[in-house]
Amino acid sequence: MHKDEMLNKKIWAVIGASSNKEKFGYKIFKKLEEKGYDVYGINPNVDKVDGKKIYKTVKDLPVKPDVVDFVVSPQITEGMLEDLKDMGIENLWFQPGSYRQSTVEKGEKLGFKLVYNDCVLRSLH
């Protein structure tokens, strides 16, 4: 899938959303919000980002996201793929540093539409 198709989808979940303004988990979450996306943060260690509720898992979300964006380590990313497939989620965006080759291969094998080796921050103008 081309990244522009994914960027046209409006409901996003950011795995690794952070309240630390220096981290990409914060910057990506906020940039998506600024650009008018319906964005949900996922992080079991964070309750809120700038007053907005952050969820422990994707399963806790009130809606099914169109795109799940990963801002976590490859091990965490890979560990979540089966659950996301079971939930019927199709579109995954692997931020730089959130995947390794085996992550991409597993995602492709499970039938996900993937964007990787590209940063949401660079892609949102």
pLDDT in tens, 41-69: 999 999 999 999 999 999 999 999 999 99
pLDDT at residue 1, as a whole number: 56
Tokens in use for 109? 């094998």
- Over the stretch 77-94, which tens digit does the pLDDT of each residue have? 999 999 999 999 999 999
Residue 124 — pLDDT band, cuts 50, 70, 90?
A: confident
Distances (CA, A) of 49 to 18, 19, 33, 69, 119: 7, 5, 12, 16, 21
Q: 125 CB contacts (<8 Å, ≥6 apart)? A: none
Q: What value does the mean pLDDT of the chain take?
A: 96
Tokens in use for 48? 């809120």
pLDDT at residue 117, as a whole number: 84
- Over the stretch 90-114, which tens digit does the pLDDT of each residue have? 999 999 999 999 999 999 999 999 9
Question: Which single residue is written with the structure tokens 């094998």?
Answer: 109
Which CATH architecture is the domain 3-118 placed in?
A: 3-Layer(aba) Sandwich (3.40)
- Is 5:120 a contact under the CB 8 Å cutoff? no
Report residue 113: phi and psi, to 5°.
-90, 125
